[in-house]
Structure 1
Amino acid sequence: MTSTEHADVDPRVAQIHEALTGVIDPEIHRPITELGMVDEVTVDAEGVARVEVLVTIEGCPMRDRIERDTAEATATVPGLTRVEVSTSAMTEEQRRALTERLRQGRRQIPFNQPGNLTRIYAVSSGKGGVGKSTVTANLAAAMAADGLRVGVIDADIHGFSMPGMFGITEQPTKVSDLLMPPQAHGVAVMSIGMFVPEGQAVVWRGPKMHRAIEQFASDVFWGDLDVLLLDLPPGTGDVAISVAQLLPGAKMLVVTTPQHSAASVAERVGSLATSTEQEVAGVVENMAGLALPDGSVMEVFGTGGGDRVAATLAGAVKHPVQVLGRIPLEPALREGADQGVPLVVSDPDSPAATALREVARSLTRAPRGLGGMKLPLSVTRS
């Protein structure tokens, strides 16, 4: 641009561009200016500002919000008489360019890249019916409530439940070959259940399930997560092995009940952790006791199962394993899962929610280390 052209540009245009750096795309969580979504900004002689914004797809569910946020940001610039915002969909070429920008030019699993500090927990159980998925959803929501950026992969392909537990009914937004995960209660969630008609079964064998987990990890734009939780199916089958292969940095979080039989189940989980060289982050004992109106506690499923599981696991993986928390049996915990609102959100001070928040904080309290990671270094000479 020549000096004459510079002189003709209204200085308010630059001010509008600066103001728009504060407008964040609700799905990608980056400024619309950084994503190339601001197509054109003009200010006419009467002080009317016109801003043209590109949304990712024609039916973008966040179009109204983006228009509103853009108008509000533009209106903060002094000297404008009116603000007009219009939106149009990106071309296929523009979507590809955006995808490349988000992928940083590489198709990969971002969590495996040097320098990535996302904590990854594979929530597992030796058998079904222990409340593993409910614990996963509540831990994720509790972490998000503490201000962390959290994602959940519903790795239980045959028995998916995360969309219902978070109250998510919409499908992910597709930008070229990249998916934007829906969010609820501050948590980004991806599940095969978002693509399957209600009541329809997913009849897949191991290789197809492996590919689905791989796509959830690599073809979804998760952004810079603090924590990624994976809700595994019960047992030690194909999906558990695939997760260990695809996300070798994932630690296992074992959910059990107080029942005596839990220790033998834990041996199988410990055997898998040993085979895949995974660390066990700890044990969560769910359904630990039911508080009665007279103040006493009924041990519906017995006592001590969590301690036995932790001891068995410690022997298998050759490192200490702690019981991170004991979650009391509380009907509201199940009701929250059915209603799509985790208990840590609807009643954060209830006994079960308090216990779950403590488990969540124990998993995120320790600082993330850089041991074994490649760091960018440069040498300067004076």
Structure 2
Amino acid sequence: MLHEDQVRKALQTVLHPRLKKSLVDIGMIRDIIIQGDTVTVTLGLKSERSPLKNVLADDIERAVGSLPGVATVRVEAVTLSREEAERMFPRSPLRGIAKVKHFLAVASGKGGVGKTTIAVNVALALARQGHRVGLLDVDVYGPSVPLMLGITEALDQQDGMIIPVEKYGLRVVSMGMTGGQDEAFIWRGPLVAKMIHQLLDQVNWGDLDYLVFDLPPGTGDPSIAIAQAIPDCAILMVTTPQEVALADVRRSISLFHKTGQTIIGLVENMSYFLCGHSTQPIEIFGRGGGEELSRETGLPLLGAVPLDLDLRQGGDSGVPLLVSAPDSATGIIFQEVAKKIPGLMP
């Protein structure tokens, strides 16, 4: 006859992918019910949208299903209370972000999809809606946030803490502010992690509703460093319609799921172009890629941003579209994306 301690022993082998600890030891196994040859395991998660839900359920089914006498394994997920979640998954002890409520990283699978443009204008749209917003540019291979925001001043310090530059209602820090705009740097894994740790610990971000990260393309050291430092950092994925961009985004989504981070949705950039002589959109990079990826992954498509001359000029001039023309057609798209974000955050 099967006993609960046998099931619990089998579950000791199921590890949280980021913490590398047993779900039993963490306290995520909330209940075990044995009825004949059927075992029901109740799994506690921080959010019903947790990307770990399916991954952990599969691991639990394999571990328990291997026991003699078990024919069926059912996994039921429940949402942990805030107190339980904070006890099991304590917030980062980093000083600089102690008063930040939410973390949102804007990511892409490849370069050239306009990720920084999306990050800057989404941050501005959130600020326009009354949120207190910081923007941290951790694109170590090409930090362009200072250029897009027209920031030329260097970072200052006060009482041993770095003070963000304030621009257009955002508190901004960029890797590009640590040296000249045209200076070249060679960043390697340990240095990247150390620098990101410093920007989180030694920057006085103050009280923020959102700290938005502009990640470098792909799934390299900066993305991993953020995941390790801030496990509850949510992800907003940026793609363009063509298949080559979608393939890279799929790989990035897979990595973020493995690190246990919540991907709140997709934004399709360069979706179409309006030439001004016709109302018919010209789909330069194909069509439907974002919608296809949304159907495939179950992630919501939060918006489709067109190729817009004013959007490009705003980035080049240091006066972004959400500053120069927030109520333009494209500006409204960004505002609609920003309105959806609070309800999707973990």
TM-score, with structure 2 as normaliser: 0.70
Alpha-carbon separation, structure 2, partners of 1:157 and 1:263: 23
Cα separation, partners in 2 of 1:263 and 1:311, compared to 1, 3 Å? farther
Q: Give deviations 1:128-180, integer Å, cap 9, x for gaps.
A: 00000001000111111222110011010121011111111111220132011
Structure 1 position 357 matched with structure 2 position 335: yes
Alignment counterpart, residue 200 of structure 2, candidates 209, 217, 221: 217
Conservation of the 8 A alpha-carbon contact between 1:142 and 1:345: no
Alpha-carbon separation, structure 2, partners of 1:368 and 1:155: 21
**Structure 2 residue identity aligned to 1:310:** S
What is aligned with 1:321? 299
Q: Give deviations 1:173-211, integer Å, cap 9, x for gaps.
A: 201320110011000010121121232111110111111
Identity of aligned residues (%): 41
Structure 1 position 189 matched with structure 2 position 189: no
Please list every run of at least 4 consecutive aligned residues from structure 1 whose deviation after the TM superposition is greater than 2 angstroms: 106-111, 260-263, 308-312, 366-369
Alpha-carbon separation, structure 1, partners of 2:219 and 2:258: 11
Deviation at 1:107, TM superposition (A): 7.1
Structure 1 position 296 matched with structure 2 position 284: no
Deviation at 1:321, TM superposition (A): 1.0
Instruction: Pick 1 or 2: higher relative contact order, CA cutoff 8 A, min separation 6.
Output: 2
What is aligned with 2:223? 240
Partner of 1:127, secondary structure, is coil
What is aligned with 1:90? none
**Structure 2 residue identity aligned to 1:324:** L
Trace 1:264-343 onto structure 2 (pairs within 5 A). Answer: 264-292=247-275, 293-312=277-296, 314=297, 320-343=298-321
Conservation of the 8 A alpha-carbon contact between 2:264 and 2:345: no
Give unmatched runs, 5+ long, in structure 1.
1-105, 315-319, 370-382
Alignment counterpart, residue 154 of structure 1, candidates 124, 133, 137: 137
Q: Give deviations 1:271-290, integer Å, cap 9, x for gaps.
A: 11121011101000001111
What is aligned with 2:57? none
Deviation at 1:340, TM superposition (A): 0.8
How many positions carry a matched residue from both structures?
A: 254
What is aligned with 1:35? none
Structure 1 or 2, whichever has the larger Rg, is 1
Trace 1:121-270 onto structure 2 (pairs within 5 A). Answer: 121-270=104-253
Conservation of the 8 A alpha-carbon contact between 1:262 and 1:309: no
Conservation of the 8 A alpha-carbon contact between 2:242 and 2:286: yes
Conservation of the 8 A alpha-carbon contact between 1:263 and 1:308: no
Conservation of the 8 A alpha-carbon contact between 2:96 and 2:204: no
Cα separation, partners in 2 of 1:247 and 1:109, compared to 1, 3 Å? farther
What is aligned with 1:108? 94
Alpha-carbon separation, structure 2, partners of 1:302 and 1:367: 28
Q: Give deviations 1:234-285, integer Å, cap 9, x for gaps.
A: 0011111111001111111100011123332122112111210111010000
Alpha-carbon separation, structure 1, partners of 2:259 and 2:109: 16
Alpha-carbon separation, structure 2, partners of 1:210 and 1:349: 39
